[in-house]
């Protein structure tokens, strides 16, 4: 598919390899289904004759009884796929597990980006722009070493004379320099899904932002599946055509720039703005705790009931790194509070926010939000050096110049959107119940979390405090939760300790640059 290009283009095809799976995954589908109605006990996979029970598999699949397809899981090694594909497809739902290479800590190599099937001048414009973005990234890493070092040594002054810590500073510089990289940049990852999720991938691969790349990769995943167990062909459907998806319907009235301006006004200066919540959530949680304990309101006050659920000194499970709260009856009272935020995060920050799968969001069809004028987020560290800020902004201007040139040549928005930088803002709405939001905020208020998502989490905490003071009081980073729970050491990061005794600070005093 890539071999016949007339210009000097990278030619890496996506690589997909099935590396781990159940031994008899499709027979297990039927065995688990038959066990539900078995008077003889559990039905073993090995006893299943698919010539006899193939129709049963078709029937339970067609009728929507899909839990039997969830038992078998498949682990893939996937490489040479874009960050855009991962954000838009692989990580856009809750039913997966991934471990992908970090742009925060691993330096990006040259020509390490996805190239869509453009031709002639359009392909050359795309390649030149992507290569310039990667060159700017490398130059920014060097320019940001000084401001990153200055901020680092403010925290760790004793390390200034020790060259061993220059690698830590470089990682801080890379973390910010990556904002200029295109979302076409390659990644590699382990990705594990159940059988039913893989079948959904096959059905939905032409949806959303990147149908060309999605179809390419999912076809490879399905081929690997059928190579391992051909019996899945019994229920495998053809992909839905793009005409089935609303985003494929032409709409000449759309104006992404006006949408972005209107959305930003609604944010009112927030990174993440609280726009809806359950007003009586604190009372509802209190009632739920009393119900679980069989107590009346006279026997237990609202404040006491709330503290049993959310104060780490009373509910020490909140401090356990194994995240035991969904298995604990008292903690589950926090499900009854929920909050909705309008958010604006860069593509790179939202790729981390998105990994919190139990705080779901309605993320955009990115190619429909793509503007023809520069629209980007600039991290604070990039503004601390004049040369770095100048290069950052120049790179953004050149990127959008290439985007405009490609659109004027009739290139599809799908393919052009791959040039959008990591800094491009994702504007969306996200909702969460308090139990899962508590875990997310605990992780992302840590000073080791990426700075932009840390800032969004702090914004959310401060607004929750305004509407539910007692609940918001305990939305804290892990070190502070651990000290309230009486656990030592306070910081669980070991050698990765951020250097700031955060547990001594009120959230109103939190400040960060790196």
Q: What is the residue-averaged pLDDT of the chain?
A: 94
**Residue 458 CA, distance from chain mean position:** 18
Distance CA(217)–CA(57), nearest Å, equals 26
pLDDT for 392 beyond 50:
yes
Cβ-contact 347, 426 below 8 angstroms: yes
CA dist 421 → 9, 133, 136 (Å): 20, 8, 12
Q: What are phi and psi of 74, to 5 degrees?
A: -135, 125
Strand-pairing partners, residue 81, are: 187
Distance CA(1)–CA(14), nearest Å, equals 11
pLDDT in tens, 139-184: 999 999 999 999 999 999 989 888 888 999 999 999 999 999 999 9
pTM assigned to the model:
0.94
Strands (E), 118-254: 186-194
pLDDT for 388 beyond 50:
yes
Distance CA(300)–CA(381), nearest Å, equals 49
Cβ-contact 269, 232 below 8 angstroms: no
| Token pair 């039997």: residue | 68
The model's confidence at residue 5, banded by pLDDT at 50, 70 and 90, is very low
For residue 4, the tally of other CB atoms under 10 A from its CB is 7
Cβ-contact 231, 27 below 8 angstroms: yes
pLDDT for 248 beyond 80:
yes
pLDDT for 105 beyond 90:
no
pLDDT in tens, 457-496: 999 999 999 999 999 999 999 999 999 999 999 999 998 9
- What is the Cβ-side half-sphere exposure of residue 35, based on CA atoms within 13 angstroms? 14
Strand-pairing partners, residue 340, are: 276, 431
CA dist 483 → 318, 331, 491, 501, 502 (Å): 12, 19, 9, 11, 11
Q: What are phi and psi of 367, to 5 degrees?
A: -65, -20
Distance CA(172)–CA(169), nearest Å, equals 5
How high is the pLDDT of residue 6?
Answer: 41
pLDDT in tens, 309-356: 999 999 999 999 999 999 999 999 999 999 999 999 999 999 999 999
For residue 126, the tally of other CB atoms under 10 A from its CB is 27
How high is the pLDDT of residue 10?
Answer: 58
pLDDT for 251 beyond 80:
no
How high is the pLDDT of residue 16?
Answer: 98
CA dist 282 → 295, 304, 310 (Å): 17, 11, 11
Report, as an integer, the average pLDDT of 413-436: 98
Distance CA(452)–CA(56), nearest Å, equals 50
Cβ-contact 325, 439 below 8 angstroms: yes
Report, as an integer, the average pLDDT of 77-100: 97
What's 427's DSSP letter?
E
Beta strands at 15-21 and 73-82: parallel, antiparallel or unpaired: antiparallel
| Structure tokens belonging to residue 108 | 């990006």
DSSP per residue over 18-35, as a string?
A: EEEE-SSHHHHHHHHHHH
Cβ-contact 159, 49 below 8 angstroms: no
pLDDT in tens, 223-244: 999 999 999 999 999 999 999 9
How high is the pLDDT of residue 403?
Answer: 98
How high is the pLDDT of residue 1?
Answer: 32
Strand-pairing partners, residue 20, are: 75
Would you call 98 helix, strand, or coil by DSSP?
strand
Rg (CA), the chain: 25
pLDDT for 186 beyond 80:
yes
Instruction: Report the greatest alpha carbon distance in the chain.
Output: 80
Q: Of 278, 211, 269, which Cα lies nearest the Cα of 240?
A: 211
pLDDT in tens, 24-57: 999 999 999 999 988 899 999 999 999 998 899 9
Q: What are phi and psi of 187, to 5 degrees?
A: -135, 165
Distance CA(354)–CA(426), nearest Å, equals 11
pLDDT for 247 beyond 90:
no
| Token pair 């319907």: residue | 249
Q: What angle do CA 51, 52, 53 make, to 5 degrees?
A: 100
The model's confidence at residue 446, banded by pLDDT at 50, 70 and 90, is very high
| Token pair 């981390």: residue | 352
Cβ-contact 193, 95 below 8 angstroms: yes
For residue 71, the tally of other CB atoms under 10 A from its CB is 15
Strand-pairing partners, residue 74, are: 21, 193
For residue 118, the tally of other CB atoms under 10 A from its CB is 22
pLDDT for 3 beyond 70:
no
5-9, 119-123, 201-205, 408-412: the lowest-pLDDT one: 5-9
| Token pair 């494929």: residue | 248
How high is the pLDDT of residue 198?
Answer: 98
Q: Of 346, 324, 336, 350, which Cα lies nearest the Cα of 444?
A: 350
């Amino acid at each position: 598919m890539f071999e016949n290009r007339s210009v000097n283009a990278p030619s890496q095809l996506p690589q997909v390899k099935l590396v781990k799976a159940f031994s008899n995954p499709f027979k297990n589908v039927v065995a688990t289904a038959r066990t539900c109605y078995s008077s003889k006990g559990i039905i073993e996979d090995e006893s299943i004759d698919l010539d006899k029970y193939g129709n049963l598999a078709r029937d339970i699949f067609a009728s929507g009884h899909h839990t039997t397809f969830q038992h078998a899981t498949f682990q893939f090694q996937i490489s040479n796929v874009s960050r855009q594909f991962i954000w838009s497809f692989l990580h856009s739902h809750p039913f997966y597990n991934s471990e992908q290479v970090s742009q925060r800590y691993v330096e990006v190599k040259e020509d390490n980006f996805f190239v869509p099937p453009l031709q002639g001048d359009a392909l050359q414009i795309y390649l030149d722009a992507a290569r310039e973005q990667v060159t700017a990234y490398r130059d920014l890493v060097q320019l940001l070493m000084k401001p990153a070092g200055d901020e680092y040594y403010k925290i760790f002054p004793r390390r200034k004379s020790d060259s061993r810590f220059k690698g830590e500073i470089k990682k801080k510089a890379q973390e910010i320099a990556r904002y200029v990289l295109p979302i076409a940049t390659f990644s590699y990852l382990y990705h594990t899904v159940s059988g039913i999720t893989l079948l959904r991938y096959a059905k939905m691969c032409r949806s959303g932002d990147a149908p060309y790349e999605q179809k390419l990769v999912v076809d490879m995943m399905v081929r690997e599946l059928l190579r391992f167990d051909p019996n899945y062909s019994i229920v495998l459907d053809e992909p839905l055509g793009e005409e089935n998806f609303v985003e494929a319907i032409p709409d000449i009235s759309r104006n992404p720039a006006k949408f972005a301006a209107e959305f930003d006004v609604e944010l009112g200066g927030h990174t993440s703005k609280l726009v809806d919540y359950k007003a009586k959530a604190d009372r509802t949680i209190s009632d739920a705790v009393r119900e679980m304990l069989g107590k009346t309101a006279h026997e237990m006050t609202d404040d006491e009931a709330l503290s049993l659920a959310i104060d780490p000194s009373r509910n020490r499970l909140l401090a356990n790194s194994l995240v035991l709260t969904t298995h604990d009856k008292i903690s589950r009272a926090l499900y009854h509070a929920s909050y909705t935020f309008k958010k604006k995060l860069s593509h790179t920050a939202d790729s981390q926010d998105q990994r919190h799968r139990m705080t779901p969001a309605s993320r955009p069809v990115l190619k429909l939000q793509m503007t023809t004028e520069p629209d980007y987020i600039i991290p604070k560290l990039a503004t601390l050096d004049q040369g770095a800020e100048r290069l950052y902004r120049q790179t953004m201007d050149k990127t959008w110049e290439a985007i405009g040139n490609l659109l004027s040549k009739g290139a599809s928005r799908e393919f052009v959107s791959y040039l959008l930088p990591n800094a491009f803002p994702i504007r969306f709405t996200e909702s969460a119940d308090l139990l899962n939001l508590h875990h997310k905020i605990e992780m992302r208020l840590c000073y080791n979390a990426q700075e932009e998502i840390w800032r969004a989490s702090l914004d959310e905490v401060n607004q929750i405090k305004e509407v539910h003071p007692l609940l918001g009081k305990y939305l804290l980073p892990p070190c502070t939760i651990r000290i309230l729970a009486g656990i030592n050491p306070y910081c669980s990061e070991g050698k990765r300790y951020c250097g700031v005794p955060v547990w001594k600070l009120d959230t109103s005093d939190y400040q960060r640059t790196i």
